Structure 1
Amino acid sequence: MGKIIVAAVASLWVIPISIVVNKIVPDPYMDEIFHIPQAQQYCRGDFKTWDPMITTPPGLYFFSLAYIASLFPGMWIANAVQSLPELCSPAYLRSTNAFLAIICSVLVYELLINLRPSLGEGKATISALLIALYPVHWFFIFLYYTDVASITAVLAMLLASLKKKYWLSAMVVSFGALAIVFLDDRNYYLMDTAESTKNPSSSKIIESSCCDSGFIDEVLDTALKLWNRKWQVLITFAPFLMVLMSFVTFVIWNGGIVLGAKEDHVVSPHFAQMLYFSVVSAAALAPVHFSLGQATTLFRLFWKTKVCRSIEVLMALCIGFTAVHLFSIAHPYLLADNRHYTFYLWRKVIQAHWIIKYLLVPVYVYSWISIVNVLGKSQTKIWVVSFIVATALVLVPAPLVEFRYYTTSFLVLFLHSQIDDSTKLLFTGAIYVCVDIFTMIMFLFRPFQWDHEPGTQRFLW
């Protein structure tokens, strides 16, 4: 019943807003100018033509072709179209993501039920709808970008793994292959995190510090268990190893992670991305992380082992200052493209004064401490560390700062956090709705012109 409710409620805003967006912005916009013509080539049966500016593999276009083909018989009988290419308009191609967004919300519900059975159907429904409204994810539902498809593929693969359908390896591999085809360097490594996610046997708050051996004990214990069951583990996870090998083969064959525009997507040591991710993710759950109760909890944990906690905080601050000073990259796209909100945050906040970027480091550190604390209430230390490492593998190589790069990591973070306070969830949902309305109004009704380039420009994430 919960799945039906989630799908029905999500449809209530996905369908009408899609109609409005297509009416006001009927032509391809931003990255759609690459994706839509490429998908239309596939609709015409041309699988050889490829736009060299497209960085991601063609998974979305193949899926759209299958989706459009499923709609064609009904549309042809209704005499609405006479050929498949006619149906591959921007509006129908965008509806691919609208359809996937509803599937994605159902997958989130299923994942919550599997990961946190004690949550109950009611709170799982609220949480799933909350994620469906997450502003960055929500916005790109209505455009023909690869984000929604890649997230759906990752969540589907995670769900298959959690249900322990290991003997149905062909199905799991198909999920993995689908994710690989959709994803680029920002999202791929999250799959490794997804495969290793398991609820710990008992809930606990991370209260250990640098002075104890709790984490080392967990690592040794896990390593021993893996060694004792090495053949079982190898057989069980063989499909995922095949996916990993396929990815490595692709990188070697392609000469890089992205397909096109390689000069603009050079792998870089952009460690400041981890700081941006922490504050964006914490702000996305502000009622949880930036509440008086959470601040009090963190202070009490700090006070219990003042010496060790002080060392940890100082180390975190040093790492943060180093990342900001030496590994903060200002990509040319970030500096020049005033259609993205990151352009204004960079210029008006981070670059407002030379000292601002350093003053923000304590905020980044607090955000990470709060995130680790919340995760530690339901996950083991080794899981939390694995999540941080996986997130770094996703984000650090990316030279460009974009909010949508953080979405997959944030969803994994949310799914594995023990957040079940209905008041905080509803408050967060209210914030999301306000942000969604604001960003969509800005996109649709606040267009502007560029002096150096013709056409209508619009604000977006």
Structure 2
Amino acid sequence: MLNLNLQNMGRRAVAAAVSLWLIPISILVNRIVPDPYMDEIFHVPQAQKYCRGNFRNWDPMITTPPGLYVTSLAYVASLFPGLYCLQAVSSFSDSCSTAILRFTNGILAVACSILIYEIITHLRPSIDDKKATLCSLVLSLYPLHWFFSFLYYTDVASLTAVLATYLFSLKKKYFLSSLLGGLSVLMRQTNIIWMLFVACTGVIDFTLSHKNDCLKVDKSIVTKEKDTQDAYNRGASVATKLRKRRVGKGLGSRNNLTSQASGPTICSSGLYDEIRDIIIISWNFLGELLVTFSPFFVIFMAFVAFVCWNGSIVLGAKDSHAVSPHFSQLLYYSLVSALFTVPASFSLQQAAVLFGQLSRNKLFSCFQFIVALTICSLSVKFFSIAHPYLLADNRHYPFYLWRKVINYHWSTKYLMVPLYVYSMFSIVTNLARGQKKIWVLVYVLACAGTLIPTPLIEFRYYTVPFYLLILHTRIDDNKSWLILGTLYLAINCFTMFMFLFRPFSWNHEAGTQRFIW
């Protein structure tokens, strides 16, 4: 009961702290930038059409589904009676102003911070409540998530839906998790990959729980056999001997079940053993597995049907968002994520861990390192895409990173390859400390499935995989969290200052331009 009260206090503290910075900064943003900016020029008018009851008219430049607009419609509907009574608005459509629509993401950002707190306390039940609150607040300051909490983009809604999907899967509420997964796909269609990731981790948990059940049964039967043997050795009755034989027979049949369910090696540690155990246990409990995860399968099949009907995963502007083999995108994500988890990725301790792993099996580790360098170099050479949007729009930070760093000289992109390799190994090592190897493999495949087909370098696309990464990265000391919080806060202050107070003009286009992620 005390623990529950502490959790409730933690949730309230996180929600209150996030609200304290969200409300004043939202007011400031709406006062200085009152009109829709960048992608908002598509999202805001489309949401306002929904507010007027026009659900058939669709802007062909919008690439994502209408989940955000429907969410805003429900949010505005809850506000309208109060606004109408205060005579702030005269009609429902008047309630859908840019400022009110933007605050949809403000509310979702508060909900997202609570979800982060819930996931942290679920993954680490022994964590101190104050530390869980600190971690949640720091992660709520993650620059890409924080900045778009003040604009009408799909990123915050997408992240909130995915984290809710994952949380309920962790709690083994798979039906509700699948419904939220469907909602996340309505926010952004690439979330189908993360819904499949959640389903796969659910299957891993399912097989692990059944494996543990078999281990418990096996241990209890061995204990009974030992007790019966002791009674026999003390000269127990013939009835006891017969009972021993029956228990022994039960042991044999049950051991067969355990052997079938978990394979010859119960306590497996290798990736091959984990995959084998999952296949065997899934086959033995196939009926229960299909019933438990059938809602995920239904949503996935509905998504496949939509792609076949639409002819593409993208709704609008299909020519500019065609699927392309952009393998370098995974390398950029690895480096960016490692930098945003700098205490866990670039510390002396982490470097020592990686060097220690390299020196344990020098021949195999050197082979792995050479293969990784080769693959990354080939990816940089043949699968680096300079999207026209990236080259033409100097309002985005990736534009400057591409010109001033990655493409500064022909050799620069190759000199960065060792950094990419180190970042990838660091991420995998950090995840492997607390997760099974099969879980890490599924995560890497999900990242690849989400990022590699994306031709445009957009750090916003890294938000969901980054959160799933850092939530499972063991950063135990408060000092590291304070370093991360300071880093995030400094980046946020700089980004918001440039956005609000350093506007500029284009010669070829009228209007005020602003720097943005």
Q: If the length of structure 2 is used for normalisation, what is the TM-score?
A: 0.85
- The one-letter code sitting in structure 1 at the alignment partner of 2:428 is V
Looking at structure 1, the residues matched to 459 and 403 of structure 2 have their Cα atoms a distance apart, in angstroms, of: 16
Q: Which residue of 1 aligns with 2:116?
A: 108
Looking at structure 2, the residues matched to 120 and 373 of structure 1 have their Cα atoms a distance apart, in angstroms, of: 25
The yes-or-no answer on 1:401 pairing with 2:401 is: no
Aligned-residue offset at 1:93 = 0.2
Q: Which residue of 1 aligns with 2:160?
A: 152
Q: Which residue of 1 aligns with 2:68?
A: 60
The yes-or-no answer on 1:312 pairing with 2:368 is: yes
Aligned-residue offset at 1:195 = 2.8
Q: Which residue of 2 aligns with 1:338?
A: 394
The yes-or-no answer on 1:183 pairing with 2:188 is: yes
The yes-or-no answer on 1:433 pairing with 2:489 is: yes
The yes-or-no answer on 1:133 pairing with 2:141 is: yes
Looking at structure 2, the residues matched to 195 and 414 of structure 1 have their Cα atoms a distance apart, in angstroms, of: 20
In structure 2, runs of 5+ residues without a counterpart are 1-8, 210-267
Instruction: Give the conservation status (yes or no) of the 8 Å contact 1:97–1:149.
Output: yes
Q: Which residue of 1 aligns with 2:199?
A: 195
- Name which of 189, 211, 215 aligns with 2:271: 215
Aligned-residue offset at 1:196 = 3.0
Looking at structure 2, the residues matched to 100 and 367 of structure 1 have their Cα atoms a distance apart, in angstroms, of: 31
Looking at structure 2, the residues matched to 128 and 30 of structure 1 have their Cα atoms a distance apart, in angstroms, of: 29
Aligned-residue offset at 1:213 = 8.7
Instruction: Give the conservation status (yes or no) of the 8 Å contact 1:443–1:459.
Output: yes
Please identify the structure whose Cα radius of gyration is greater. Answer: 2
Aligned-residue offset at 1:243 = 1.2
The yes-or-no answer on 1:119 pairing with 2:147 is: no
1:13-412 to 2 correspondence within 5 Å? 13-166=21-174, 169=175, 171-185=176-190, 187-197=191-201, 214-412=270-468
Looking at structure 2, the residues matched to 412 and 226 of structure 1 have their Cα atoms a distance apart, in angstroms, of: 25
Instruction: Give the conservation status (yes or no) of the 8 Å contact 2:166–2:177.
Output: no
From the two aligned structures, give the one with the greater helix fraction: 2
Instruction: Give the conservation status (yes or no) of the 8 Å contact 1:188–1:394.
Output: no
Instruction: Give the conservation status (yes or no) of the 8 Å contact 2:75–2:104.
Output: yes
Percent identity between the aligned chains?
56
* RMSD between aligned residues: 1.5
Looking at structure 1, the residues matched to 364 and 319 of structure 2 have their Cα atoms a distance apart, in angstroms, of: 44
Looking at structure 2, the residues matched to 220 and 172 of structure 1 have their Cα atoms a distance apart, in angstroms, of: 26
- The one-letter code sitting in structure 2 at the alignment partner of 1:51 is D
Partner of 1:218, secondary structure, is helix
Q: If the length of structure 1 is used for normalisation, what is the TM-score?
A: 0.95
Instruction: Give the conservation status (yes or no) of the 8 Å contact 1:172–1:239.
Output: no
Aligned-residue offset at 1:172 = 3.3
- Structure 1's 143 and 418: CA in aligned 2 closer, same or farther, altered over 3 A? same
Instruction: Give the conservation status (yes or no) of the 8 Å contact 1:442–1:459.
Output: yes
- Structure 1's 270 and 345: CA in aligned 2 closer, same or farther, altered over 3 A? same
- The one-letter code sitting in structure 2 at the alignment partner of 1:83 is S
Moved more, 80-89 or 189-198: 189-198
Structure with the bigger RCO (C-alpha within 8 Å, sep 6+) is 1
- The one-letter code sitting in structure 2 at the alignment partner of 1:174 is L
Looking at structure 2, the residues matched to 105 and 420 of structure 1 have their Cα atoms a distance apart, in angstroms, of: 19
Runs (4+) of structure 1 exceeding 6 A deviation are 198-202
The yes-or-no answer on 1:424 pairing with 2:484 is: no
Instruction: Give the conservation status (yes or no) of the 8 Å contact 2:192–2:300.
Output: no
Aligned-residue offset at 1:420 = 2.1
Instruction: Give the conservation status (yes or no) of the 8 Å contact 2:68–2:154.
Output: yes
1:141-172 deviation line (CA, Å, top 9, x unaligned): 00000010111111111111111124xx2x33
Tell me the matched-pair count.
448
Aligned-residue offset at 1:26 = 0.1
Looking at structure 2, the residues matched to 403 and 85 of structure 1 have their Cα atoms a distance apart, in angstroms, of: 33
Aligned-residue offset at 1:449 = 0.4
Q: Which residue of 1 aligns with 2:3?
A: none
